[in-house]
Every structure is written in structure tokens, then in C-alpha cells.
Amino acid sequence: MKLTTYIKGLGYYVPERIIDNNELSTMVDTSDEWIRTRTGIEQRHVVAPGQNCSDLVMESAKKALAASGIKPEEITHIINATVSGDDAFPSTATRVQAKLGITGMALDLSAACSGFIYGLQVARGLMALEPEAKILVTAAEVLSNRVNWKDRSTCVLFGDGSGAAVLSASPTPPATGHPLMANAVIEDVMCNADGKTGHLLYCNGGCSDFPYKLGDIVGPENFIQMNGREIFKYAVRTMAGISQQLMEKLGYTINDFDMVVPHQANTRIIQAVGDRLGAPAEKVFVNVNRYGNTSAASIPLAMGEAVETGVIKPGMRVLFTTFGAGLTWGAAVVKF
């Protein structure tokens, strides 16, 4: 018998400091008009000095735990999706574990913007092996430290933030009354990657393919590199494609969904994915205007905000789809 995995509680967080497009246009040769029309982004949140990835995770994790009614000490596994963790090693997940004061399996997962949906799939696999598991799946990025703030083709796009979900196979609904409480069934998840396309979006500074030597000067090559036009095309094609595959596998059409939540990278990409799937604009969730592209955090940030604000209500079936560096992509169907 197939085990059902539930999302019991959600959390999301963005740091306080906001950089809007007008402020950005004082830092680099760009304009509010260009950024809005090409991306739909109006502002992004960035960390305060000293605030790191595990700090962002903790803010979301605390909310998700409170919403789920599951205590930190009941958590058996932490899966943290990030490409901008606290250190090269140990993992940010272990830092989070220490801050929560617990033990158990803890790992970071690197799938860039697809990290949270990859994390859900890994968690479902672990749950099948250990049905009593209580799994904290988190995603957080501090991409403000990974972009070259002099490169207008990338620095306008990204923002910092985090999201979290507590997963369990128990069908009993939490009774916490928390606005981020859920008893949502993960109906299915599909993930894919094509490593041959990795050169289209990457950041390799400091790793074994691009090691630092003592005394090296940090240059533009140490930050995010992207072929924006190609990424745009792949993003639309892969998110729409994997969503169709997952719908076909489950015997659904777009009419079976109350909401579609694509990765929040760019409103033109989001709109194109919605159009390809035949979803009316009012069913396609957008918050990229306020947060920019928060990479792995984008899907749980959207999920949490949509649940908290009542945009996603109990009884709704929602299609989530994502895309990121790797290139990686994925989709998940969740019944709230």
C-alpha cells in the first residue's frame, strides 16, 4: 500500500530590509521601468549584516512547527534546500538542527530553485522507508551574497527568503488553529534534470572546479553567471512540460486544479507557463513582484503566503512547478 505523506504546517520568512527598483537604479545602470516590464519585480528583501541562511531557515521552521503541532524534538529528519548555505561545510541543515536543539538525519540538498520540490520528493522516499518519520523540509537562500551587485543582468532578479514544511504520514489534522496549519496530501511529485545545460546558470567560486588561492581577489567570475534568454526558454518549456506529464500520470486535466503556483522568477515566465497549461490568469499565483526570485525558497514562500492569506483554502488541489540551475525542474500536486 502506498503511504500518504501530509504537509501539516507551513512557514515562510523574508528579511526586513527591502531594496526597491528605484534604490537599485542608484546602485547599477537600470530603471524601475525596465525591471517591471521585463520581470514584474518591484522590490526584493535582503539580509541584514550577519544574518545567514540558517537564521532565515529558523524563522520559517519555527512557524511551520507551531502550525503543525509537532514539537522540534519529534523531528527525525531535516532536509534543507539551498545553494547559498552558511558554509561550504558542514551543512546548513546541521546548523538548523543545532539551533533547534535536536539530533537525527540532517542534509542539505542542492537543486537551486527546484530544491523545495526535490526536497518533498526525497522526504516522500524517506517516509516510505520510515513511516513514523516527522520530516522538516526547508528551503532558504541568501542570493544577495551570490550576485554581483554591479551586474545589472542578474542583480535585479534575486531576493533573500525562506520557507518550511513539516511532513508526516499521520492523517490526524493538527488542531493548532495556526494560520499556516495544513493537512494537505502530497498526491505526487515528479523531478527531472539535464546536467548538459548546467553552463546556462551557475556560480562556481570557491569550489573544486574554481578553487580560491590565498590572496586571490574576488572578481565578477566568483558570482552568479546566467544566459538569461536561454534560461527563459527552458524555464517555460520544462515547467509546462513536467506539469503536463504529472497531470497525465494522475489522470487530471488543468480543470482539476484550483490554483497553479509556478516558480516565482519572472511574471512573463509565470504567465507563459499558465498560458501553455491553459490556466486562466486568476488561477495562477504571483508574488514575485514583492520578493523577486528567492530560488529554492520561492515555492514554499508562495505556498505559505497563499495558505496564510486564504488564497489556497482547504479542499483545493494545487499544482506547483519549478525550474532552476542544473538545469533542474519539477512539479508537485498537493490537495489542501
Q: By CB under 6 A, which span of 72-80, 125-133, 207-215, 229-237 interacts with ligand UT7?
A: 229-237
Q: Residue 137 or 203: which CB sits closer to ligand UT7?
A: 203
Angle between helices 32-39 and 267-277 (to 10 degrees): 20
Q: Residue 69 or 159: which CB sits closer to ligand UT7?
A: 159
Answer yes or no: 113 catalytic: yes
Work out which of 232, 258, 286, 311 binds ligand UT7, going by CB under 6 A: 232
Going through 222-274 in order, the beta strands assigned E by DSSP cover: 225-226, 259-262
Q: By CB under 6 A, which span of 68-76, 122-130, 152-160, 207-215 interacts with ligand UT7?
A: 152-160
Q: Which of these, 266, 200, 193, lies nearest to 34 by C-alpha position?
A: 266
Work out which of 2, 196, 213, 229 binds ligand UT7, going by CB under 6 A: 229
Q: Which of these, 330, 333, 85, 82, lies nearest to 194 by C-alpha position?
A: 330
Answer yes or no: 263 catalytic: yes
Q: Which of these, 261, 196, 201, 203, lies nearest to 231 by C-alpha position?
A: 201
What is the Cα–Cα distance from 137 to 11, expressed in whole angstroms? 10
Contact characters 109-138, ligand UT7, x per CB under 6 A = ----x-------------------------
Catalytic residue among 113, 155, 191, 203: 113
**Counting contacts by CB under 6 A, is residue 270 touching ligand UT7?**
no
**Counting contacts by CB under 6 A, is residue 38 touching ligand UT7?**
yes
**Counting contacts by CB under 6 A, is residue 34 touching ligand UT7?**
yes
**Counting contacts by CB under 6 A, is residue 30 touching ligand UT7?**
yes
Read off φ and ψ for residue 313, nearest 5 degrees.
-115, 160
**Counting contacts by CB under 6 A, is residue 39 touching ligand UT7?**
yes
**Hey, which residues does 201 pair with through a beta bridge?**
226
**Hey, which residues does 226 pair with through a beta bridge?**
201
Answer yes or no: 45 catalytic: no
Minimum gap (Å) between residue 268 Cβ and ligand UT7:
7
**Counting contacts by CB under 6 A, is residue 324 touching ligand UT7?**
yes
Q: Do 259 and 311 meet the contact criterion of CB atoms below 8 Å apart?
A: yes
**Hey, which residues does 6 pair with through a beta bridge?**
168, 185
Instruction: Collect all residues with Cβ–Cβ distance below 8 Å to 54 and sequence separation of at least 6.
Output: 85, 86, 92, 95, 96, 99, 140
3-state SS class at 249: helix
Work out which of 51, 76, 110, 153 binds ligand UT7, going by CB under 6 A: 153
Going through the chain in order, the beta strands assigned E by DSSP cover: 6-13, 17-20, 43-46, 77-81, 105-109, 134-141, 161-168, 181-193, 201-202, 225-226, 259-262, 317-324, 328-335
Minimum gap (Å) between residue 323 Cβ and ligand UT7:
6
Q: Residue 329 or 336: which CB sits closer to ligand UT7?
A: 329
**Counting contacts by CB under 6 A, is residue 231 touching ligand UT7?**
yes
What is the Cα–Cα distance from 163 to 291, expressed in whole angstroms? 13
Minimum gap (Å) between residue 230 Cβ and ligand UT7:
8
Span 49-108, contacts to ligand UT7 by CB under 6 A? none
**Counting contacts by CB under 6 A, is residue 228 touching ligand UT7?**
yes
Position of minimal CB gap to ligand UT7: 228
Minimum gap (Å) between residue 156 Cβ and ligand UT7:
4
Annotated catalytic residues are 113, 263, 293
Residues within the interface to ligand UT7 (CB under 6 A):
30, 34-35, 38-39, 113, 152-153, 156, 226, 228-229, 231-232, 235, 265-266, 293, 324
